[in-house]
Amino acid sequence: MQKIGLTLAAASLMLASVTATQAADGRDYISIVGSSTVYPFATSVAEQFGKTTKFKTPKIESTGTGGGIKLFCAGAGVDSPDIANASRRMKKSEMETCQKNGVTEVVEVKVGFDGIVLANSKKAELMKLSRKDIFLALAKEVPNPDGGDKLVANPYKTWKDVNASLSANKIEVLGPPPTSGTRDAFVEMVMDGGCETFDLYKAMKKSDEKKFKAACQTLREDGGYVEAGENDNLIVQKLETNTKSVGIFGYSFLDQNADKIQGSTVDGSAPTFENIATGKYVVSRPLFIYVKKAHVGVIPGINEYLAEFTNDRAWGETGYLADKGLIPSPAAERKAIAADAKALKLVVIDK
């Protein structure tokens, strides 16, 4: 009986070895999908990694956070991505999908912070907005301007309609689609924040939070808000040609195009590196990468890629990612995250 057990164990080890070898033979580069916001940072790390190690440069697709996590959680094996970039934390429902599809061990690495900006052309007037202004400009339904407790289809056509101190330009905001983590973070931080300036929504939040979220986070579909896809560089280009439009994207794209576009102030704070790092700018969020532990040691270079990303020469205050617009986490936090990444510490997402 013992001999049979040993034989089975040996066979299992051999099968695992063969499977790993076949996987490595099938793909000898890291496959990364996900957030368009994290994309430029992950690409910079991938390029540096490809130049300074024996491994191939990883292949990265900008699919949006939601789309990337969906691909990541679809299953394990060489036909699936090894890493997902995310501009928000993975949701409990997404982790449950991962588990159901056999992606049972996931490593989470918080790589830094980013701000969401509302930017326009430098040829236009700098916009000074509040979250209330933005909500009234972009919500599908708003409180009746004539008073009362009813919501009505958004009647506001220009920024001046929303706030007499703003320009008379038509409201046209180019922003991310529902698959985008930037969209998720924007509606939670900006639209919800704008909602809560009204007693009507405050009462709704207390009585029915689901109804509150639906009312606050549903964007207008009459041309005031335009879904512009996952390519934030295209939004920047459109702002250059249409000086009356406003675009929504991560701070790094503002930083890299500061000669062409400018970031609106939100609630009195400008979207600068310092303001995002200190939390003074209210529309900031953490950025993440997620790694399949089962692929480590099967697909070559994953440990080494993580080591490059979590090295201060990359994500530190004076690292090359800061030059790209990444806002570094505090030094002590970076040290702890880097240690967890090296140990491939598994994440637990329970809410």
User: What share of the chain in percent tops pLDDT 70?
Assistant: 93
The pLDDT, as a whole number, for residue 4 is 36
Is the separation of the CB atoms in 129 and 265 below 8 Å? yes
Query: Taking the mean position of all CA atoms in its chain, how far away is CA 29?
Result: 24
**Mean of per-residue pLDDT scores for the chain:** 91
Fold of 25-112+286-342: D-Maltodextrin-Binding Protein; domain 2 (3.40.190)
Confidence class for position 11, pLDDT limits 50, 70, 90: very low
Residue 171 has pLDDT above 60, yes or no: yes
Given a cut of 50, is residue 328 above it in pLDDT?
yes
Residue type at 90 in one-letter notation:
M
Q: Looking at residues 312-333, what average pLDDT do you find?
A: 95
So what's the pLDDT on residue 229?
80
pLDDT band at 166; cut points 50, 70, 90: very high
pLDDT average, residue stretch 40-67: 97
**What pLDDT does 8 receive?**
39
| Superfamily for the 115-284 domain | Periplasmic binding protein-like II (3.40.190.10)
- Residue 12's contacts (CB-CB under 8 Å, 6 or more residues apart) are none
Decide if pLDDT at 322 tops 70. Answer: yes
Residue 220: per-residue pLDDT: 97
Q: How far is CA 334 from CA 28, 106, 329, 344, in A?
A: 29, 19, 6, 15
Determine the pLDDT at residue 25. 52
Average pLDDT over residues 159-181: 95
Closest residue by Cα to residue 283 from 143, 192, 189: 189
User: What angle, rounded to 10 degrees, do the helices at 331-342 and 302-309 form?
Assistant: 180
**CA-wise closest residue to 250 among 267, 221, 230:** 230
Torsion of CA 76, 78, 79, 83, to 10 degrees: 70
**Which DSSP symbol is given to 312?**
H
pLDDT, one tens digit per residue, over 268-303 is 999 999 999 988 999 999 999 999 999 999 999 999
Q: What is the pLDDT of residues 246-275, one digit of tens each?
A: 999 999 999 999 999 999 999 999 999 999
291's enclosing H/E stretch is strand 284-292
Domains 25-112+286-342 and 115-284 share a fold: yes
Residue-level pLDDT at 94: 97
Mean pLDDT of 169-179: 95
Residue 7 has pLDDT above 60, yes or no: no
Q: pLDDT value at position 149?
A: 83
Domain segments of the chain as ranges: 25-112+286-342, 115-284
Other beta carbons within 10 angstroms of residue 15's beta carbon come to 10
Q: Is the pLDDT of residue 79 over 90?
A: yes
